Amino acid sequence: MGESPRIGNSVGADVMRGVAILMVVVYHAFGSFYGWHLPWDGWLRNFSEPRSETLVWFYPVSFGWAGVSLFFTISGFCIHYSYLRAGKFDPGQFYWRRFWRIYPAYLISLVLFAILFGYSHLTYKGMSQILSHAFFIHNFGSEGFFAINPSFWSIATEVQLYLLFPVLLFIRGRLGISATLVILFIVACGWRIIAISNWGLPEHPIDWVWTFPLMTWFDWSLGALVAERSFQGRRAFKNPGLWLPASLLLFVLSTFYKPLTVFSFTLAALASAVALDASLYVRWKSWWAWGLVFIGTISYSLYLWHQPLIPYLINRLKTISGSSFVAWIGLVPLLLVGGWVSFQIFEKPAVAIGHRLRRSRRRADS
């Protein structure tokens, strides 16, 4: 069977989750002040007349959005591996656990940011945004995609991928995981054809059209492939020393040529799947790895709150310290403290409530 993965304690996945949230936080922090990407000159990136000279010097930071691809891959891995360990799919239990893990903390963040940014329930626009976010459908159009909290789009997409999970299991049960991925890739390419025909090429891969569930379903399922192979005691990518640099190179090149950006998110997911697969075989003992495990543990709370708070925190820290350097150095520790507090007072209690209610219901039924 070969080398066995060390996934009993999910250290590799937690480390990768920590990497993903740091990529996203740094990207949002940098982009809020210096720009999100370089402009296009026809079908190529324009480096001669950049929107921000700083963005040119720190251009790798602009790839931080790929942390979302990594998040999707990790999610597909964790969800599918849990199913494989259980040996069956219980829809009631699955969606019950997902609800209490995601929704209470999300709803609190949604309500507070809606109030903070003036989305009044007394207006049609405000109420439509609040309700579309509450029901995770705001990512089905440009008007709601970045509304209230721009980071919320990926949570909606994630929930929609949970709803598609039984379909993935149905196809996999009849054709196997490899054929399932082929089918999902064909579906994703079909959506790309529809998208290009109706909306043209994207200015940036993070857009409602280019992160639609029918496209990102394949990306999420790459994590399921890693889970399947790991459960069998095999590597999903037998030569990561070749797969990882090759997939990273293709990802970077795709971002320079506009027609290829329709595959950028998927190429980032492929590189993420290779990295995740390799991480399962690493003995994580260093202090920084366990620091990433901690950050990965609070990553959901950190994700819920960080983006709208970044400009406010940077400006406040600049005012207090009188130094931009101090403000940037102090940003991440403040966000980590806030994420830990949210994890302790919102996430953990909600999950505990869900467990207690589930046990009470089982006792009542027995």
Looking at residue 52, what is its pLDDT?
65
Looking at residue 8, what is its pLDDT?
43
> 215, 66 in Cβ contact below 8 A?
no
Instruction: Tell me the per-residue pLDDT of 169-219, one tens digit each, with 9 for 90 and over.
Output: 999 999 999 999 999 999 999 999 999 999 999 999 999 999 999 999 999
Looking at residue 121, what is its pLDDT?
81
Q: How confident is the model at residue 150 (pLDDT cuts 50, 70, 90)?
A: very high
Amino acid at 167: V
Looking at residue 58, what is its pLDDT?
82
Global pTM? 0.94
Is 1's pLDDT higher than 50? no
Say how far apart CA 180 and CA 137 lie, in whole Å: 26
Instruction: Tell me the per-residue pLDDT of 251-279, one tens digit each, with 9 for 90 and over.
Output: 999 999 999 999 999 999 999 999 999 99
Q: Indicate the average pLDDT of the chain.
A: 92
Looking at residue 337, what is its pLDDT?
96
Is 2's pLDDT higher than 50? no
Instruction: Tell me the per-residue pLDDT of 58-109, one tens digit each, with 9 for 90 and over.
Output: 888 999 999 999 999 999 999 999 999 999 999 999 999 999 999 999 999 9
> 107, 134 in Cβ contact below 8 A?
yes
% of the chain with per-residue pLDDT over 90:
80
Smallest CA-to-CA distance from 152 within 28, 22, 266 is with 28
Looking at residue 299, what is its pLDDT?
97
Instruction: Tell me the per-residue pLDDT of 32-48, one tens digit each, with 9 for 90 and over.
Output: 888 888 889 899 988 87
Q: What angle do CA 291, 296, 300 make, to 5 degrees?
A: 145
Instruction: Tell me the per-residue pLDDT of 309-335, one tens digit each, with 9 for 90 and over.
Output: 999 999 999 999 998 889 999 999 999
